[in-house]
Amino acid sequence: MTLVNYKAIASELGKETLLTSWGLIRILVPVAIITKIFADLGLVTFLGSLLEPLMLLLGLPGALGLVWATAIFSSIYSAIAVFSVIAPGLELTGAQVTVLCAVMLIAHSLPIELSVSSRAGARLMPIAVVRLVGAIVYGYLLYRCCTLFDLWQDPSRVLFKATTGSGDYLSWAVDLLQNLCLIIMIILCIIILMRLFKLVGLLGLFERLLAPVLPHFGMGGQAAPITVVGMIMGIGYGGALIIRETATGKLAKDEIFHSMVLMGLCHGLIEDTLLMVAIGGKLGGVLWGRIFFSLIVTYVLVQLAVVLKKRRLETRENT
């Protein structure tokens, strides 16, 4: 490979990193400023207390409820912005960060992603319930497993620097700048890893592993490959493919629903997982456990749908 090619690759990586980073920085800086003001006014503690019952159920400090709420209504990147401000002072364990990451991965960006699911032909409310309830159930099971088997109980290595307390705004701004630089480096590493995974065929390997399995989860030959793509690349991409196939009339309604359920519970397997690992989540909880849980939930819903359909047919025959 020539020097020109190396320069072109470096330039392309730099542009993609800056573009992605700028989208995050536009969110992070205002969020950080608002969070700083809220912290000085004592509102972060107040908001945390409102969310504390749910967070305690998951073994998390109440303040982290603000992180998850941000993920639900905005995006994972926005939640990372809040996490970078709140987390350094909480003395979190690896298990706690993993639980938080897991629930964020299942339930995030709901206004946008539920809209995609709805356009794809799946009813909005059932998908919303599956994702929110699924996140809480999986978070609780993961928390109990970590406690029972003493998993990841060591202090988490929070990459972000704790911002200076109330009053010292200059030091706070310097710490924020350092955290921004760190986030940009994380994004660059993830972009490079994504390209390497594509180059070595890891994405194709995921497709080959999952494609034969999915027909057992209420999806036919048309829906299964699309669902695999959505699980790997994300709801936006997978949902767009489902929307396109729905327009052709080749997919049944139950196939669409099962596909969107599985994609909703388990998507962004590469990029989103890498983001969570970068902030301290453990791979066993944010990837393998999430895949296993999502397949189980989808299978149970498929079997439940079969039973209900059978009962409806029996009722019609009896009447």
Tell me: pLDDT of 272 over 80: yes
> For the chain, how long is the longest CA-to-CA vector?
78
- The residue type of 25 is I
What is the span of the domain harbouring residue 152?
A: 3-318
- The total number of structural domains that make up the chain: 1
Q: What per-residue confidence (pLDDT) applies to 103?
A: 96
User: Rounded to an integer, what distance in angstroms lies between the CA atom of residue 266 and that of residue 298?
Assistant: 10
Tell me: pLDDT of 22 over 80: no
Q: How far is CA 80 from CA 70, 138, 175, 176, 230, in A?
A: 9, 20, 15, 13, 23
Q: What per-residue confidence (pLDDT) applies to 39?
A: 66
pLDDT tens-digit readout, 48-62: 677 788 999 999 998
The larger pLDDT score, comparing residue 252 to residue 239, is at: 252
DSSP 153: -
Burial of 230 (0-12, 13-18, 19+ CB in 10 A): buried
pTM for the full model? 0.80
